[in-house]
Structure 1
């Protein structure tokens, strides 16, 4: 079974696990929107990434289900919600099995509640040392989150 983990948002990431092994990891595809150079998810490229994985009916896409955070502005939340909707729409159009997981669920599973944002990178490097170079920079915490989202689902599948 293939599991796709998605950390949503324009600074998010996508991870593909096949039988528990990472076969692909990338940043969320983005494009510039309008004259103000606002970034948004490139839905066509996201669809291409998912299509190229040759997913079938038994494969799963796991999307982190996030909500408004204290202190985040209205414009930022609207943009984030739009990104979340684009991802859900692409998955629906491709007829992919989409499952939502709350951050508290997967973070608790990996003992990352109330930890630094960078702790997910450390956890991923411990679990998958062969991809350490893919998550070596602080900005790669999005990739680490996508990996852990997929891994959480993989480890909690009914046996």
Structure 2
């Protein structure tokens, strides 16, 4: 069974592995490390270990860019996170594809949905408890990095055909 890796590359992103029949194999929040006292960065070592363990045939990385109103420092940090996961995926996966949010969401009729709604869809498809965190104010927190990475991986199945 062929495996697909979906990557939401931000600090609050996630990594998910599914097979070509949409079975969940594994998903984790983006591993981070704290440097210089309080600066969080993507930790490439656990990303490497996760990908090595599961050996996906295909990786689909969300292709993101600057958004209006983002500061220079935050964009540098985001670019650092993207570069770290991109480099590891390119080194370990035989095929790496990139998809803008508009593309993977549009292909799955997710355009215009909130992060909570996308999480509900991802949970319905994959039954991944990792999508939801602890209860806060009567609601379960959504780990949208995991739900997005699952839906990015699901989008990637089309590249196997």
TM-score, normalising length: structure 2: 0.87
Distance 1:158 1:42 in 2: 29
**Aligned counterpart for 2:81 among listed residues 80, 83, 86:** 83
Q: Which residue of 1 aligns with 2:60?
A: 62
Residue 132 of structure 2 corresponds to residue 136 of structure 1: yes
- Relative to total residues, which structure has the larger strand share, 1 or 2? 2
SS at match of 2:6: strand
Deviations 1:103-128 (A, max 9, x none): 00111122221221211101112223
Q: Which 5+ residue runs of structure 2 have no aligned equivalent? A: 134-140
TM-score, normalising length: structure 1: 0.88
Q: Which runs of 4+ in 1 moved over 3 A?
A: none
Q: Which residue of 2 aligns with 1:153?
A: 156
Could you say if the C-alpha distance between residues 119 and 95 of structure 1 is closer, same or farther in structure 2, counting changes exceeding 3 Å?
Answer: closer
Q: Which 5+ residue runs of structure 1 have no aligned equivalent? A: none
RMSD of aligned Cα (Å): 1.6
Q: CA shift at 1:91, angstroms?
A: 2.0
The alignment covers a number of residue pairs equal to: 152
